[in-house]
Amino acid sequence: MQTTARSGEVVERWKRLSEQGVRRRDAARRLGLSEAELVLALAQEGEAQRLRPEWQAILESVPSLGPVMALTRNDACVIEKTGTYHAPEFGNAHVGQVTGPEIDLRIFLRYWSSGFALTGPERYSLEFFAPNGDAVHKIINRDETSRDAFDRIVTRFAAETPAGEPLAIVPKVTQPERPDVEIDLSAYHGALAAMSNTHDFFGVMRRFGLAREQALRLGGPAFAVRVAPASYRAMLLVAAERGVPIMAFVGSEGCIEIHTGPIHLVQERDGYFNVLDRSFNLHLLERPVERAWVVRKPTQSGIISSLEIFDARGDLIVQFFGERHGGPEREDWRGLLAQLPQEIAG
């Protein structure tokens, strides 16, 4: 990572890229850095403050900010929800959730490695990063955000780490898929059939050592079918037109952010397919989309269906459900998915 002497050069180059409309994540990559390292350079130049790794306590203080924008992203999709955080709930030291009508998160603190407060006069934020330097979650001010509460959080959690101390960046390692021939398909299909809720699927994947898309592929056509990669376009447009409320799940390594409810303004712009509603924005970069699956999970409430979008590496980009608060699946959602064209895998 750069020394403090080099940080000024890094920040200057970043500002030139920003003036050209380059987002910070993309600018960091052009500069040969992770986004966390670029933010550290900003801290070394007095434009951000490194935070102590007291993530749970920091999140417990966030409701005092009032309305903010919660942002979570991966390489191909960004979700932004505007509202007020409810107090987080943690079942153990690493796994928690924020649940409320506006901000809905699932949090995995074992993947939160560093955090910063960006302290600009107009745009200020709390930003958290994974060990590889990718952002896991950001909390960004709106006009109604309390600057006094933000400043109190920064003062309380400011790290005493020397400005020049580098981040320990650890590259993410992707595990190879377990060979299909090693999977007991009969036992696997039996485990799928025995699921009682959608969350059981994660345990089944772990039990059989499966990657997510591999689990869909081996589940058979009753469980998952390939549809056209751009099926999300038709789904979002029809959901907006017909008023079908949806759930959208977008995850980073350390956070999943969820939208639940209707959508309204859907449009393509600059290579992204977007939902551009007042308190909910979704930006799906279309170029990386490689495959899409309609998945039908058995539960005690009947089949629950989703549309899952993957990139060429088999990483999940975004997952869509019909709005649901327990009970059976909405028929209008199920009918919408049934209209998506299936794709024959080559």
Is the domain spanning 4-157 CATH 3.10.20.30? The answer is: no
pLDDT, residue 165, reads 86
Quick one: the chain helix, strand, coil %, rounded to 5? 30, 30, 40
Average pLDDT score over residue span 235-252: 98
Count CB atoms within 10 A of the CB of residue 160. 6
Give the mean pLDDT of the chain.
Answer: 95
Distance of alpha carbon 118 from alpha carbon 121, whole angstroms: 9
- State if pTM tops 0.85: yes
Question: Does residue 1 register a pLDDT over 60?
Answer: no
Asked if the domains 4-157 and 180-271+287-338 are classified in one and the same CATH topology, the answer is yes
Q: What is the per-residue pLDDT across 84-100, written as a single tens digit (0 to 9) for each?
A: 999 999 988 789 999 99
Domain spans in the chain, listed from the N-terminal domain onward:
4-157, 180-271+287-338
What are the tens digits of pLDDT across the range 101-129? 999 999 999 999 999 999 999 999 999 99
- Which CATH fold topology does 180-271+287-338 show? Heme iron utilization protein-like fold (3.40.1570)
Residue range 225-229: average pLDDT?
A: 97
Tokens of 217: 């592929």
Span 120-163, pLDDT tens digits = 999 999 999 999 999 999 999 999 999 999 999 999 999 998 76
Query: Residue 168 class from Cβ within 10 Å (0-12 exposed, 13-18 middle, 19+ buried)?
Result: exposed
Cβ–Cβ under 8 Å, residues 109 and 136: no
What does the pLDDT average to over 62-87? 98
As to burial, measured by CB atoms within 10 angstroms (0-12 exposed, 13-18 middle, 19+ buried), residue 25 is middle
What token pair was written down for 22? 């380059």
DSSP-assigned letters across all residues of 219-282: T-TTTEEEE-TTHHHHHHHHHHHHT--EEEEEE-SSEEEEEEE----EEEETTEEEEE-SSEEE
Q: Count of CB atoms within 10 A of residue 195's CB?
A: 17
